[in-house]
Amino acid sequence: MDIEDELQATIAEMVQPGKGILAADESLPTITKRFKPIGAESTEETRRAYRSLLFSTPKIGEFISGVILFEETLGQRADDGTLLSEVLSRQHIVPGIKVDKGKIPLARAPGDEITQGLDGLAERLRVYKGQGARFAKWREVYAISARNPSRLGIDANAEMLARYAAVCQEEGFVPIVEPEVLIDGDHSLERCLEVTEAVLHAVFHALYRHRVILEYMVLKPSMVLPGKLHPSQATPEQVAAATVKVLRRTVPAAVPSINFLSGGLSPMEATANLNAMNALFPRLPWELSFSYGRALQQPVLQAWAGRVENRPAAQQALYRRARLNGLACHGKYRPEMEKET
């Protein structure tokens, strides 16, 4: 199979109506932070047990088509000795891998950041492929303030995303391109729309320059939202209208799927916003789906609480949340479904 056939096969499995991507790629500090409120210590064994619980949830492949893994997880095994990437494959879920190395301040651009990890990326991807990974993810972040993101910040981050995506495709990996406009701050919905539009314009110009094949990538953007400190929060319908307006202006129709990140939203908010987009705008050129981390996992962590005996309840919580988001992909979610068992 040549590389283009490989990319086509992977994207066909990742992009399916009513299915989304589970982000389970939390770094060690992040997963430690997630475990703390439930009283679970973050050790290699507890992380393995938790992620094994997620991936072996019965029938989760009905609503999840891909999972983004942290590097440690690729080498870990389920209780029966099966590699966790193989546990996913048996559920007809594509294993992927987070490949960026975290963010640092961007020189000469106060308040802006840039993500590291391009050095040796091709070599790392070859190792990950041998461990079962078939797609990758790279995140750039954009904080909103009166002066940020700067033009330099927007262009430098777009260049990094495009360089990463080009290397991925050369190695037969579908790239998830994640430009996250942060929800932190007191900015308005209109200011977020303006920033998101500038960011996505720059990203797609850079992808074009680097000859990234748009048909074999997934965009993972943030929704257009007011800052969490803004006095006026937006309804799902307002979020949907603003987000789709920006996507129509910036994202080529060749991109097969847009899988939103949940970035600070509650599980219910993330589902309701996605549902509003699909209910109000049913004839868009892309699939509008989800690639949620905390918005899928928060109810699971609460149900699990680090205890083996809670595993069935935790898996039930994941299946339920994934199912509700699957319905939202079709615009068929209703808030009253949250009360159903």
Q: How far apart are CA 33 and CA 27, in angstroms?
A: 10
The b/e string for 203-215 (b: 16+ C-beta within 10 A; e otherwise) is bbebbeebebbbe
Q: What is the largest CA-CA distance in the chain?
A: 54
* Residues ≥6 apart with Cβ < 8 Å to 271: 295, 321, 324, 325, 328, 333
Handedness of CA 50, 51, 54, 59 (dihedral sign): negative
Q: Record the tokens describing residue 223, joined without a space.
A: 């929704």
178 catalytic per annotation: yes
The catalytic position among 19, 98, 137, 220 is: 220
Q: Record the tokens describing residue 85, joined without a space.
A: 């990437």
332 catalytic per annotation: no
Residue pointed to by tokens 């190395």: 101
- 44-52: long-range contacts (C-beta < 8 A, 24 or more apart)? 44/72, 44/76, 46/306, 47/72, 47/73, 47/76, 48/73, 48/76, 48/77, 48/84, 49/308, 50/304, 51/24, 51/76, 51/84, 52/76, 52/78, 52/79, 52/84, 52/87
Q: How far apart are CA 133 and CA 68, in angstroms?
A: 9
Using DSSP's 3-state secondary structure scheme, residue 199 falls into helix
Residue pointed to by tokens 């009513």: 18
The catalytic position among 26, 178, 180, 287 is: 178
Using DSSP's 3-state secondary structure scheme, residue 126 falls into helix
Please list the active-site residues. Answer: 178, 220
